[in-house]
Structure formats: structure tokens, C-alpha cells
């Protein structure tokens, strides 16, 4: 039996509501979704109490499983040197955590801060600010019975597996997990097998798309250099039972998701 795969609503974020996107991807055989939070797609402030209840009921009736909610982090920075920016980010993530609980999800995915590619504050200062923000989010997660998954991302103060694992390990909170993004990891030259084994005790979600070590992308699987057979085999060997989320950023999402799913299922069947 091959592993089940979910997907992100990312490629639909400016072209469809989250529910419409989820229904289209469910028809492909995907389930266990990471829903992107954006105005017009799925946005906490646009959902009244009754709308949230209705959406949760519809998801249940349609057999759609939402694994997590996720901001695209365009305007949010949990490690910002500006106090007001961090405070706003924590507030918005807190709303996402409450919405996740109402929709029956189990987690919120968070990009752990943003730093400039040109000039950055001292890493120690950024990490200290990030600790404060993440601790505040974990208080929200405790209250809502949710997990918080910090995503491996090349534009954060902790952009590599070693730095992310050290950060999460130092906080050592039972609700704190890692979302390992293979395309992000490929962009910073990670060894996927070693990374997944290191992160195994804290691994909450895996994002699957293709990229290379010279071009940061989230392409259709097969168009980059990620070694997916090794990734899939390692996930099985470490007993990973969390969501395996296709996060394909594409102008033709259904076509590329279908092709990516076919490739993953072929490889999985031979493991």
C-alpha cells in the first residue's frame, strides 16, 4: 500500500476559494491539506462564527481533511527587529491557531522569521526575538490543542536543518514540530536522508516539490534535482506518519499536481 499524499492550496491562492481548491484536489485523490491563509481564499477576519461552523461542517461532509493552516508570510515576521511587527505577527498567528482548531486541523505551519538576503541583524538578536514570538504562539497552541510546525526556509534566521533542529530542541515543547520542505532544503544544499533522520523525533509535516541547488523553486516533481525515492524511503524507515504535502507553485496546478502524485505513487510502490 502506498502512502497517502495531501497538498497545499498555494497555487490556487489568488484564483479560487480554499474550499473550491480543496474539492478540486480531492478529486485527484489527494487528502490531508495545508490551507494557505490569504484574503479571498481563506482569511480569519473574513470568516464569522457561523461561517466557520458551516465550513467545518462542509469539510466533514465532503470527506476533506485539513491538516494545517499556513500564512504565505508575505507581511509577517516573527523575528522582526520591530516590536510592533512581531506583536502583529503573533496576534495573526494566534487567530490562525484558533481557526485551525475550529476547522478540525491539527497544526499551524509558521515560517520562523524573515531576514534580508543582503544585510541581516546579528543572528543572536534575531533568534532571541524569534524565541519570544514562538513561546507566545505555543501558549496559543496549548490553549487550542494544536501543534505548531516551524518550516525549514532559506530566508529565516535559522535556514538550515542544524540551526532549526537546535532551535526547536532548545525550546523542547511537546507541541513544537518541524515542517521539512524538501525544495527549501535543496536550495540550501541539505542532505535529505541525514536531515530527515536528525529531525525524525520532531517531524510534524513534510512539503514535497522540486527545485535545485542553483534555483529556489517549488516545481512539479521531476523538474529539479531532489532525490525523491531516497526521501520517501527515509520517511518510511523513520516511521513518519504525518502529512506528506505536495506544495507545487504552478500556473497549471491540477496538471502538475496530478503528474507529481503519479510520480510519487510509482516510487512509493517500489519501496
pLDDT digits (tens, 9 = 90+) for 18-76: 999 999 999 999 999 999 999 999 999 999 999 999 999 999 999 999 999 999 877 89
Whats the size of the chain, residue-wise?
271
CA–CA gap between residue 138 and residue 148 (Å, rounded): 7
Whether the pTM exceeds 0.85: the reply is yes
CA–CA gap between residue 58 and residue 46 (Å, rounded): 17
Decide: helix, strand or coil at residue 261: helix
For 85, 98, 126, 235, the CA distances from 120, given in Å and listed in that order, are 16, 32, 9, 34
CA–CA gap between residue 185 and residue 226 (Å, rounded): 9
* C-alpha dihedral, 108 to 40 to 210 to 120, nearest 10°: -70
H/E stretch holding 147: strand 147-151
CA–CA gap between residue 31 and residue 22 (Å, rounded): 8
Per-residue b or e along 206-216, where b marks 16 or more CB atoms closer than 10 Å to that residue's CB: bbbbbbeeeee
CA–CA gap between residue 11 and residue 9 (Å, rounded): 6
CB proximity list for 23: less than 8 A, separation 6 or greater: 62, 64
Tell which phi-psi region holds residue 32, choosing left (phi > 0), alpha (psi between -120 and 50) or beta.
left
Counting residues of the chain whose pLDDT is more than 90, the rounded percentage is 90
pLDDT digits (tens, 9 = 90+) for 172-194: 999 999 999 999 999 999 999 99
pLDDT at 249 > cutoff 50:
yes
pLDDT digits (tens, 9 = 90+) for 119-136: 778 878 999 999 999 999
Predicted local distance difference test score (pLDDT) of residue 115 = 87
Q: What is the mean pLDDT of residues 232-247?
A: 97
Decide: helix, strand or coil at residue 263: helix
CA–CA gap between residue 231 and residue 194 (Å, rounded): 10
Give 13 or 120, the one with higher predicted confidence: 13
Locate 38 and state its grid cell. 490569504
pLDDT at 101 > cutoff 60:
yes
Locate 138 and state its grid cell. 505555543
pLDDT at 158 > cutoff 50:
yes
Residue 191 CB neighbour total at 10 angstroms: 13
Are the C-beta atoms of 150 and 168 separated by less than 8 Å?
yes
pLDDT at 117 > cutoff 80:
no
User: What would the CATH number be for the domain defined by 6-269?
Assistant: 3.20.20.150
Average the pLDDT over each of 69-78, 94-103, 130-139 and give the range with the smallest value: 69-78
For residue 100, give the nearest of 12, 247, 204, 4 by alpha carbon: 204
Predicted local distance difference test score (pLDDT) of residue 2 = 54
Residue ranges per domain, the chain? 6-269
Mean pLDDT (the chain, rounded)? 95
Are the C-beta atoms of 30 and 248 separated by less than 8 Å?
no
Amino acid at each position: 500500500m502506498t502512502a497517502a499524499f495531501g497538498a497545499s492550496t498555494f497555487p490556487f491562492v489568488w484564483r479560487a476559494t480554499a474550499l473550491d481548491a480543496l474539492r478540486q484536489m480531492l478529486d485527484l485523490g489527494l487528502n490531508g491539506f495545508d490551507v494557505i491563509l490569504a484574503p479571498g481564499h481563506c482569511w480569519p477576519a473574513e470568516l464569522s462564527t457561523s461561517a466557520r461552523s458551516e465550513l467545518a461542517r462542509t469539510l466533514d461532509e465532503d470527506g476533506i481533511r485539513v491538516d494545517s493552516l499556513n500564512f504565505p508570510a508575505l507581511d509577517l515576521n516573527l523575528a522582526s527587529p520591530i516590536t510592533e511587527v512581531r506583536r502583529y505577527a503573533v496576534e495573526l498567528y494566534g487567530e490562525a491557531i484558533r481557526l485551525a482548531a475550529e476547522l478540525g486541523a491539527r497544526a499551524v505551519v509558521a515560517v520562523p522569521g524573515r531576514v534580508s538576503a543582503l544585510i541581516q541583524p546579528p543572528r543572536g538578536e534575531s533568534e532571541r526575538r524569534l524565541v519570544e514570538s514562538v513561546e507566545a504562539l505555543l501558549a496559543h497552541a496549548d490553549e487550542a490543542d494544536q501543534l505548531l510546525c516551524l518550516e525549514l526556509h532559506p530566508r529565516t534566521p535559522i535556514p538550515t536543518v542544524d540551526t532549526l533542529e537546535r532551535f526547536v530542541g532548545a525550546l523542547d515543547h511537546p507541541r513544537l514540530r518541524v515542517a521539512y520542505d524538501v525544495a527549501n532544503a535543496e536550495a540550501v544544499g541539505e542532505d535529505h536522508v541525514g536531515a530527515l533522520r536528525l529531525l525524525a523525533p520532531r517531524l510534524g509535516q513534510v512539503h514535497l516539490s522540486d527545485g535545485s541547488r542553483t534555483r529556489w523553486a517549488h516545481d512539479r516533481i521531476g523538474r529539479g534535482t531532489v532525490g525523491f525515492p531516497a526521501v520517501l524511503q527515509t520517511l518510511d524507515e523513520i516511521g513518519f506518519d504525518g502529512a506528506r504535502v505536495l506544495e507545487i507553485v504552478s500556473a497549471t496546478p491540477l496538471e502538475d499536481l496530478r503528474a507529481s502524485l503519479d510520480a510519487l505513487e510509482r516510487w512509493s510502490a517500489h519501496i
